[in-house]
Amino acid sequence: MGEITNDAAMMSALGRAMTRAVQRQAVAAGNLANIDTPGYRTKEVQFSEALDGHMQAMTVAVTDPRHFGAAFGFDPTQTTETSGLAVRRDGNNVQLDRELFTMTRASSDFAAAEAALSAKFRLIRFAINEGR
């Protein structure tokens, strides 16, 4: 039963990582779409690093694998304005290089989680096929 719980926890964590990457990329794309909009302020997805660290440090007793993937009481899609960026004369503060870097990093994070999930599914498929 412990191995099933660890597998469920790992797959759930990888799923959350993929979701975060997709959300970061979508917000960066929205920023890029508004790069010439006067007064537009750069937005970013807020995933509290402290909360993530706290969640990883917590030990969760899983009584039913279907419960583990539930939300942990916060809205992962919350966006806020990014502070500390230089503002142009038109009031816009979107920086092309910063947003392209954000999109590239999010794409890399997604690909890494996807590769880990693919490896896990290959192991499962191998275990199933070996039994035949």
Number of domains observed in the structure of the chain: 1
pTM, entire model: 0.69
Q: What's the average model confidence in pLDDT over 74-98?
A: 85
Q: Over the chain, what is the mean pLDDT?
A: 80
Cα 64 from Cα 72, distance rounded (Å): 16
Q: Quickly state the pLDDT bin for 74 (edges 50, 70, 90).
A: very low
| Residue 95: pLDDT over 90 | yes
Cα gap 18→16, rounded to integer Å: 5
Q: 64 versus 103: which is more confidently predicted?
A: 103
Confidence of residue 68 (pLDDT cuts 50, 70, 90): very low
Which range marks the domain in which residue 125 is found?
2-130
CA distance 32 to 24: 12
CB atoms within 10 A of CB 29: 14
Q: Are strands 79-81 and 43-45 parallel, antiparallel or unpaired?
A: antiparallel
> Which pLDDT tens digit goes with each residue over 39-61?
999 999 886 643 554 455 445 55
Higher pLDDT, 9 or 102: 102
88 pLDDT higher than 50 = yes
